[in-house]
Structure 1
Amino acid sequence: MKSRVAFKMKLKPGNIQEYKKRHDEIWPELQELLKESGVSEYSIFFDEETNSLFGFQKVSGEGGSQDLGKEEIVKKWWAYMADLMEVNDDNSPVTVAMPEVFYLA
């Protein structure tokens, strides 16, 4: 069974174009890891007023993309993206889980 996961992150001002470019060129091995881990239908939306990013993904398995921090390729991706967004000490994005309050199938 798949679950839906949503979270928000914060982009540093003026970085949306570079953020989008890097995701348009996502590394194939990272994309493969996400799919192998059960992540699908992964989208990230941008709120220009607040520089907030809203992530949504369907997940089959134990967790979503934010739970893959022990994988070397994920650590490299986080370091690659750290200059664009708010991050924790380990370069993981500062994320806030968003509970689902409505769903229409």
Structure 2
Amino acid sequence: MERLAFTMKLFPGQVEEYKRRHDAIWPALKYLLKDSGVKDYSIFLDEASLTLFGVMKVEDSAVLGPLRDHPVMREWWEYMKDIMETNADASPVQVSLVEVFYLG
């Protein structure tokens, strides 16, 4: 099992909308992530900087690459791009973090 962490960034004034959309996450997206081996996925918010911190466990990080092209993932990104920083393809601007400590 691999643990991955990353940051993303919300636009000002979009915290409640981000929470609302994730409270109503699409069943198809939830199934896609779980079926791809994503486990124990959390997103935290630093309210002062609007930085989102995501952490997840995956059985094999190689399975995440193909998710980029899955229609459900692409549709979710389009749905979210108006409230957060995104790349030209609507994927969230995501910065991978390097683990420097773990107390297991």
Give the TM-score of the pair, scaled to structure 1.
0.94
Q: Write the distance in 2 (CA, Å) between the matches of 1:12 and 1:96.
A: 16
Q: Write the distance in 2 (CA, Å) between the matches of 1:9 and 1:66.
A: 18
Q: Write the distance in 2 (CA, Å) between the matches of 1:104 and 1:13.
A: 34
Question: Aligned-residue CA RMSD in angstroms?
Answer: 1.4
How far did 1:61 drift?
A: 1.8
Identity within the alignment, %: 52
Match of 2:39 in 1: 40
Ranges in structure 2 where 5+ consecutive residues have no aligned partner: none
Ranges in structure 1 where 5+ consecutive residues have no aligned partner: none
Q: How does 1:15-94 map to 2 (within 5 A)?
A: 15-63=14-62, 68-94=67-93
Give the TM-score of the pair, scaled to structure 2.
0.95
Match of 1:95 in 2: 94
- Which is richer in helix? 2
State the number of aligned residues: 104
Q: Write the distance in 1 (CA, Å) between the matches of 2:74 and 2:8.
A: 17
Q: Write the distance in 1 (CA, Å) between the matches of 2:36 and 2:71.
A: 14
The answer to whether the 8 A contact 1:4-1:57 is kept is: yes
